[in-house]
Amino acid sequence: MNRRTFLLGTASGALAIGCAFGRTGGRVWRHHQRTGELQPNAWIRILADGRVIFTLDRVEMGQGTMTSHAAMVCEELEVDPTTITILPAEASRAYDNPDRQIRVQITGGSTSTKASWQPLREAGAVAREMLRRAAAETWAVPLGECVAIAGTIQHAKTSRMLRYGELVKAAARQDTPRVRLKDPAQWTLIGKSLGRLDIRPKVDGSGIYGVDVQLPGLLTAVIVRPPVRGGTVAKLDASAARARRGVVDVVQIPEGVAVIAEGYWEARTGAELLQVTWDEGHGGTLDTDALFAAFEKLASARGQRTAHDAGDAYEALGKGTRVEATYRAPYLAHATMEPQNATCWIRRGRCEVWAPTQTPGIARFRVAEAIGFDLDDVAIHTTLIGGGFGRRGLVDYAVEAARLAQRVKRPIKVMWSREDDQEHDWYRPMAVSKFVGSVEFGTGNESRPLQPGPGRITGWLHRLVAQSIVTHEAGDFLGARVPNATPRALRRLVSAGPPRMTARGTLLDPTSIEGAADLPYAIPNLRVEYTPAETGIPVGFWRSVGHSFNAFFTECFFDELAHAAGKDPYELRRELLASHPRHRAVLELAATRAGWDTPLAAGVGRGIAVHASFHSFCAQVAEVSVTGNRVRVHRVVVAIDCGRVVNPGLVAAQVESAVIYGLSAALKQQITHRKGRVQETNFHTYRSLRMHETPVIETHLVTSTEDPTGVGEPGVPPIAPALCNAIFAATGKRIRTLPIEAALASPGAAS
């Protein structure tokens, strides 16, 4: 991003810099006169007592933004990050995610470091320069002799020193200077494994998550939701529930029937006393087996859209050895450790929401919409967040809390049970892929020299059928993206357009085809077709989004073709990635560190996969053994290239987290529907990896001078295919349907 858009981008907010590298228009000075602080931009405040307050606008949900982002600011500001105060940003357009495709105040898409890299360092540098200028003026010495060191400006010649706090007033008079960022050789924080700044309250029990918010007279609501999608209340008898001690009210809202009580237990047990007859509509007919059959049928025909087309795949597939396979990926729940919840208090025409949300921006828009408030009358406070993984980019919980707060006129917390969370998620879409590949042996065509080795892949046809996330979620984004002053009706119109287009297939949903349409391998005839399939089951962003299934599909099928060609799957990948050096570098690094050519114990197999997502590159080698239906993952070796590494410790933690999250899904997880009802309702049936099942995970970082890119998600996509390819190496069985444990247990599913 260039300087100009940075400034324009922040200029929309109340806390903005105001004007480009010149006079501040008096804003910084006026703010100083009001508060005694120096606030050169939306992120930094320096108090007269020297305290530095950093407003963190990318939420901390465990991925480490509090630490990495503080390091970026403090590196340029020249202060010790362990001494500053870090506050989560309220909803404000000043904090829209500067990523060009987002422009909404949301944390997601593995954009946090990438998008903040330039603006936050500039913000720190601007403050530092204003302080240096203030010191130079105060001492009447050349600016070049004033050096910022650890929260002070120093003048070596005269051994003088002023603390930042002492310079606040003089600095607030300065214009916003043009800044030069530090040379990487001078970095003392970036690139180092600074310890996490967010964890003390997470180990002593004092951290306040959404579920922990307490307010005077707070009520708790649980919502009894329809057992199937789109179900509505046909008959309600709430008399027993109302009679339960501690129950305050029973209220019907569009989402279901809310039982409001003094505490969670009273509300939950009160809810069990409700007598609801549901009108199930069509929702009661949804069945997973039937949905897969319907998806497979769609995948048997030519795709509705062509996502990629090179050479002539259909012609190539008529020659050589034909390899066909069908792959299936199920719906997945996010299963954040903290169930969904939000607290709301409406008084004197103001609505305040406390929520563990990835998107204060969308929360504000949707809450305002739901209760008919102006955006400016809605405040969103982000609490600590018990896991996001994409789930908290939706704000249904906040909307429910606001609707109820409007009814009961008291502060109220909506608490979802684990069952609510499992049964009413916005799931990772289910998807089916039919592949046809062709492998040619022999002499081939003299004008096109053969690749080394016995066979070569000449054709690749991928027919992908998946449900569109954009259809379900884009409305929220677009509605929150238009300027705050946009009239409500127009805002609604804007938010409805693209979802309709993706549903009809007139617009290609990029999140469905990502990681499939941009297959990096040099295959001469390569065609990817896509057909959107709507089931009515809500879908959403799940850690790594479309990559989560497309890496599984493509990297497993590539492995099948490598075997059909009689090639080593690693060597063939290397060969066909010749023009993709960053893919190839992580592939080689992972293979080398894993000892790809070294012998393994009897019964152990090794599999490899490489996949690029969120502008980063990741390769993984998994070592597994299989006894009966049980898969034991012994070791996972990961190589990742995410550009410059701001904090190696945090990157390693995110990689381990991604591998474990991805392994849980690949081995154990699926959301299935029978008669419209979700079958996996809690952790006993929606199982996750536990301590004793966790492999040794080794993470290797590629040294790079490219700007930083995604970290939270890119570790997820390669694990499922690396694992399935390893299972093939160990057993000769191809897993084409996830999750693996279920596939191994059902005879026909693996071959």
Partner 1 sequence: MVKLIVNGKSVTVVAEAETPLLWVLRDKLGLTGTKFGCGIAQCGACTVHVDGEARRSCVMPVGELAGRAITTIEGLATPPEMERAGERWRAGTALHAVQEAWLAENVPQCGYCQAGQIMTTVALLAANPAPTDDDIDSALSANLCRCGTYPRIRRAVHRAAKAIRP
d(C-alpha 583, C-alpha 577), whole Å? 7
Based on CB atoms, which residue is closest to ligand FES, 98 or 386?
386
Residue among 652, 558, 656, 566 at smallest CA distance from 607 = 558
d(C-alpha 611, C-alpha 242), whole Å? 55
User: Which residue intervals of 140-251 are DSSP H helices?
Assistant: 164-172, 200-203, 239-243
Q: Which of these ranges, 46-54, 294-302, 311-319, 659-667, lies near partner 1 under the rule CB under 8 A?
A: 659-667
For the bound state, the minimum distance from the C-beta of residue 340 to ligand FES, rounded and expressed in Å, comes to 15
Contact yes or no for 514/466 (Cβ under 8 A):
no
Based on CB atoms, which residue is closest to partner 1, 694 or 731?
694
689 binds, among partner 1, ligand FES, none (CB under 5 to 8 A by kind): partner 1
Binding site for ligand FES (CB under 6 A): 62, 337, 387
Please, what is the Cα angle at 254 between 252 and 255, to 5 degrees? 90
Calculate the dihedral angle through the C-alpha atoms of 116, 121, 124, 126, rounding to the nearest 10 degrees: -110
Residue among 100, 108, 89 at smallest CA distance from 41 = 89
Q: Which of these ranges, 36-44, 411-419, 559-567, 672-680, lies near partner 1 under the rule CB under 8 A?
A: 411-419
Contact yes or no for 732/626 (Cβ under 8 A):
no
- Site for partner 1, residues 58 to 77, rule: CB under 8 A: 61-64
- Site for partner 1, residues 613 to 652, rule: CB under 8 A: 649
Based on CB atoms, which residue is closest to partner 1, 261 or 351?
261
156 binds, among partner 1, ligand FES, none (CB under 5 to 8 A by kind): none
For the bound state, the minimum distance from the C-beta of residue 663 to partner 1, rounded and expressed in Å, comes to 9
Sheet with 146-149, strands from edge to edge, namely: 146-149, 152-155, 160-163
Q: Is 54 one of the binding residues for partner 1 (CB under 8 A)? A: no
529 binds, among ligand FES, partner 1, none (CB under 5 to 8 A by kind): none
534 binds, among partner 1, ligand FES, none (CB under 5 to 8 A by kind): none
User: 185, 186, 205, 487: which one contacts partner 1 (CB under 8 A)?
Assistant: 205
189 binds, among partner 1, ligand FES, none (CB under 5 to 8 A by kind): none
Residue among 297, 392, 380 at smallest CA distance from 344 = 380
Based on CB atoms, which residue is closest to ligand FES, 98 or 387?
387
User: 658, 726, 729, 743: which one contacts partner 1 (CB under 8 A)?
Assistant: 658
Based on CB atoms, which residue is closest to partner 1, 218 or 522?
218
Based on CB atoms, which residue is closest to ligand FES, 202 or 319?
202
Contact yes or no for 706/653 (Cβ under 8 A):
no
Neighbours of 427 (CB within 10 A): 24
Side-chain-side CA neighbours of residue 209 (13 Å): 18
Calculate the dihedral angle through the C-alpha atoms of 374, 379, 384, 385, rounding to the nearest 10 degrees: 0
659 binds, among ligand FES, partner 1, none (CB under 5 to 8 A by kind): partner 1
Q: Which of these ranges, 100-108, 180-188, 337-345, 465-473, lies near partner 1 under the rule CB under 8 A?
A: 337-345
Contact yes or no for 363/392 (Cβ under 8 A):
no
Q: Is 657 one of the binding residues for partner 1 (CB under 8 A)? A: yes
d(C-alpha 404, C-alpha 221), whole Å? 8
Based on CB atoms, which residue is closest to ligand FES, 62 or 124?
62
Interface pattern 675-714 for partner 1 (x via CB under 8 A): -------xxx---xxxxxxx--x-----------------
Q: Could you tell me the two tokens for 537?
A: 């089951």
For the bound state, the minimum distance from the C-beta of residue 212 to partner 1, rounded and expressed in Å, comes to 4
Neighbours of 551 (CB within 10 A): 29
Angle between helices 719-731 and 546-564 (to 10 degrees): 30
Q: Is 593 one of the binding residues for partner 1 (CB under 8 A)? A: no
Q: Could you tell me the two tokens for 565?
A: 């060609």
For the bound state, the minimum distance from the C-beta of residue 61 to partner 1, rounded and expressed in Å, comes to 6
* Complete DSSP assignment for 59-98: --SSS-HHHHHHHHHHHHHT--GGGSEEEEPPS-GGG---
For the bound state, the minimum distance from the C-beta of residue 653 to ligand FES, rounded and expressed in Å, comes to 10
User: 417, 486, 679, 731: which one contacts partner 1 (CB under 8 A)?
Assistant: 417
- Residues of this chain that interact with partner 1 (CB under 8 A) are 61-64, 195-196, 198-209, 211-212, 214, 220, 245, 262-265, 335-339, 384-389, 415, 417-418, 649, 653, 656-661, 682-684, 688-694, 697
